[in-house]
Amino acid sequence: MVGGNAIRGTRVGAGPTGESERGESAPRRRISYWCANGHEARPSFALDAEIPDEWDCPRCGLPGGQDEKNPPAAPRTEPYKTHLAYVKERRSDADGEAILAEALDRLRKRREIL
């Protein structure tokens, strides 16, 4: 046997007995969810599991609900804000002018000393 590998081509958990060794799977039910684009997702849940009200669509990512005629609305995404936009929310133009004048005064005084 030249460079052979005895477990080549098999996977973890695969055995000669197959499913009977792993036990029986729990009874399941499929629930339909529809997104705003009309896509249907049908995940399966155990019979005793709590069913969520919404499920993300695997095709477009929008939230899906169980009512086909009235799917949940797409979440509103906030636009990207720059650092300057956040600063302008905290400070007025007058505050900015005062801070700039103060910094310029300090810079001028430092240059006079040198």
Task: Give the long-range contacts of residues 78-86, CB within 8 A, separation 24 or more.
Answer: none
The pLDDT of residue 112: 86
Q: What value does the mean pLDDT take over residues 89-105?
A: 92
Binding-site residues from annotation for Zn(2+): 35, 39, 57, 60
Q: Where are the domains of the chain?
A: 26-63, 81-111
Task: Give Rg (Cα) of the chain.
Answer: 31
Residue 41 gets the label, from left (phi > 0), alpha (psi -120 to 50) or beta, of: beta
39-71 pLDDT, tens per residue? 999 999 999 999 999 999 999 999 999 999 999
**Mean pLDDT score across all residues of the chain:** 85
The pLDDT of residue 88: 87
Binding-site residues from annotation: 35, 39, 57, 60
CATH homologous superfamily for 26-63? Answer: RNA polymerase-binding protein A (2.20.28.270)
Helix then strand then coil, % of the chain, to nearest 5: 30, 15, 55
For residue 40, list its beta bridge partners. 34
- pTM, two decimals, is 0.52
